Amino acid sequence: MPPQINKPKLYLYCFFFIFLTSIFNFKVLDSYQEKFSIKKIYIYGLSNSEKQKIEIEINKLKNINIFKLSEDKVLKILKKFNFLENIYVNKVIPSTININLSKTLIVGKTLRKTEYFYIGKNGNFIKSNQLKEVINIPLVFGEFTIKEYIDLQNILSENGVDLQNIKKYFYYKNKRWDLLFSNKSTLKLPSQNVDKSIKIYKKLLDSDNLINKKIIDLRITNQIILTNYNE
């Protein structure tokens, strides 16, 4: 006759076995969580002042499990800083994230509703407090779109006009531009056929026909109106 099993003792043994193995599992889980939680985040490619602003936000990701952190979550934080052009995120197991960043080229500065913004080549208006002061960039006036401004700069560059010599751009409601140069001369462009007008301006410039000219007015088709400084 087989020995009888003492059921109360069996239940007690089972309880202690489950209890002890559960404690062990919790310790293993805690150890796992601790080992793979994010402890270090390194940011490369920016100046210290620009990096510090980003670190305040990005350090909120610390202590998250590195396997559970999606790239989209990192990008969502970084997109608040719209001066960034390229973003590369690299997880280094077990607990480190490397972030390589590059900022866009700043091509101007403008005033929007009493606040100054930088104009980024990436197509963004960037709050001036996001970046350290950018010098030697032109001021741009008027209610323009960034695409209109960058398109104009591209046409100027393609025709050999040195953008460094342009100090101010003025945009008008009829969709045309005036350009003020470092020699204090002004180029008035039409609202249409801008590329053709800039080619004419460049020919005049190369032929030295603009020496001592204050205003170069190309607004009227097939007409060139030049005004001297003493007029």
Question: Residue 165 maps to which CATH number?
Answer: 3.40.50.11690
Number of domains in the chain: 2
List Cβ<8 Å contacts ≥24 apart for 31-36: 33/65, 35/94, 35/95, 36/65, 36/66, 36/67, 36/93, 36/94, 36/95
Please report whether residue 211 resides in a domain.
Answer: yes
Q: Which of 83, 103, 123 is the last residue of a domain?
A: 103
Please report whether residue 5 resides in a domain.
Answer: no
Please report whether residue 1 resides in a domain.
Answer: no
Q: What is the span of the domain harbouring residue 90? A: 40-103
Q: For each of the chain's 231 residues, which pLDDT tens digit applies?
A: 455 545 555 444 454 445 445 544 544 444 546 778 899 999 999 988 888 889 999 999 998 988 888 889 999 999 889 999 999 999 998 889 999 999 999 999 999 988 999 999 999 999 988 888 888 999 999 999 999 999 999 999 999 999 999 999 999 999 999 999 999 999 999 999 999 999 999 999 999 888 888 999 999 988 999 999 766
Please report whether residue 24 resides in a domain.
Answer: no
Please report whether residue 14 resides in a domain.
Answer: no
